[in-house]
Amino acid sequence: MRKKVVFIGAGGYAKSVLDSLDTQHFEFCGFIDSFKPVGTLHFGFPILAEAIEEFEARDQYAYFICIGNNDHRLDKFLRLKRLNCEIINVIDKSAIIASHTTLGVGVFVGKMAIINSGVTVGDNVIINTKALVEHGCRVGNHSNISTNTTLNGDVIVEDFCFVGSSSVITGQLRIGEGGIVGAGAVVIRNVDARTVVAGVPAKFIKEIQS
Ligand SMILES: CC(C)(COP(=O)(O)OP(=O)(O)OC[C@H]1O[C@@H](n2cnc3c(N)ncnc32)[C@H](O)[C@@H]1OP(=O)(O)O)[C@@H](O)C(=O)NCCC(=O)NCCS
């Protein structure tokens, strides 16, 4: 029997995730989204509740969080965990995941993404369309590796990082916790925690104030 699935978040990213859901094993049933009226249809499926706490039938479903923003995705992840809800992974059928790879829960691997051998991916992580995560990389919890990004061999991306589209992180570097890499950057040095870098080669832009 197919597992019934509900997505948290019904925005544009949810559309990509829905397209990648393995419908042989999962039956998609609708969304939970606090910005859309309950009962309205999105991509042909209903908004079932505004929040997981208000969704009375929640024990009957498994969940996937379709929110790109790391802070908001973390908030929903913690709320699902607090309620003992099951969280699935969504891996597009065109993605390539090598052997000896470890994935957490709540992981999205988009179309034509490649995760090579010996990679560890944490919980609640986005490996978006056409991203390449080379051998031996570690991607921390709640991080977002955007479309067409290349993480060369043995790169460490710590928790809560955002790596912008089409950027290249050359081998054996570390992106510190909460670090942000601008779109199109070529990163040739370690990036400090809570720091934004951008450009070719990537340069310091600013520190992130909390
Ligand atoms: C790096 C980034 C996060 C910075 O955003 P921000 O904090 O709003 O910064 P600002 O737009 O105020 O720009 C600050 C400075 O950085 C420069 N900058 C911003 N993004 C840059 C980039 N990608 N490459 C080079 N320089 C960049 C700006 O020109 C500006 O320079 P200045 O101070 O000399 O004028 C953002 O520009 C970015 O690249 N986001 C990635 C988007 C993306 O890939 N989304 C993926 C969707 S799947």
Residue among 108, 205, 206 to mutate when testing ligand 1 (max atoms within 8 A of CB): 205
Q: Does residue 95 carry a pLDDT above 80?
A: yes
Tens digit of each residue's pLDDT (9 = 90 or more) over 10-56: 999 999 999 999 999 999 999 999 999 999 999 999 999 999 999 99
Q: What pTM was computed for the model? A: 0.97
Query: Of 14, 21, 16, 18, nearest to 73 (Cα)?
Result: 14
Distance 184 CA to ligand 1 centre (A): 10
Distance 148 CA to ligand 1 centre (A): 17
- DSSP notation for the chain: -PEEEEEE--SHHHHHHHHHS-TTTEEEEEEE-TTS-TT-EETTEEEEESSGGG-TTGGG-EEEE---SHHHHHHHHHHHHHTT-EE--EE-TT-EE-SS-EE-SS-EE-TT-EE-TT-EE-SS-EE-TT-EE-TT-EE-TT-EE-TT-EE-TT-EE-TT-EE-TT-EE-TT-EE-TT-EE-TT-EE-S-B-TTEEEETTTTEEEEEPP-
- Does ligand 1 come within 6 angstroms of the Cβ of 181? no
Tens digit of each residue's pLDDT (9 = 90 or more) over 141-175: 999 999 999 999 999 999 999 999 999 999 999 99
Q: Which ligand 1 atom is at minimum distance from the Cα of 147?
A: 48
- Does ligand 1 come within 6 angstroms of the Cβ of 167? no
Place of tokens 């369309």: 129
Cα dihedral 74, 75, 76, 78 sign: positive
Q: Does residue 210 carry a pLDDT above 90?
A: no
- Does ligand 1 come within 6 angstroms of the Cβ of 182? yes
Q: What is the mean pLDDT of residues 118-147?
A: 98
Nearest CA residue ID for atom 38, ligand 1: 182
- Does ligand 1 come within 6 angstroms of the Cβ of 165? yes
Distance 149 CA to ligand 1 centre (A): 16
- Does ligand 1 come within 6 angstroms of the Cβ of 113? no
What is the pLDDT confidence band of residue 66, given thresholds at 50, 70 and 90?
A: very high
Distance 192 CA to ligand 1 centre (A): 17
- Does ligand 1 come within 6 angstroms of the Cβ of 148? no
- Does ligand 1 come within 6 angstroms of the Cβ of 70? no
- Does ligand 1 come within 6 angstroms of the Cβ of 186? no
- Does ligand 1 come within 6 angstroms of the Cβ of 11? no
Write down the pLDDT at residue 182: 98
Q: Does residue 63 carry a pLDDT above 90?
A: yes
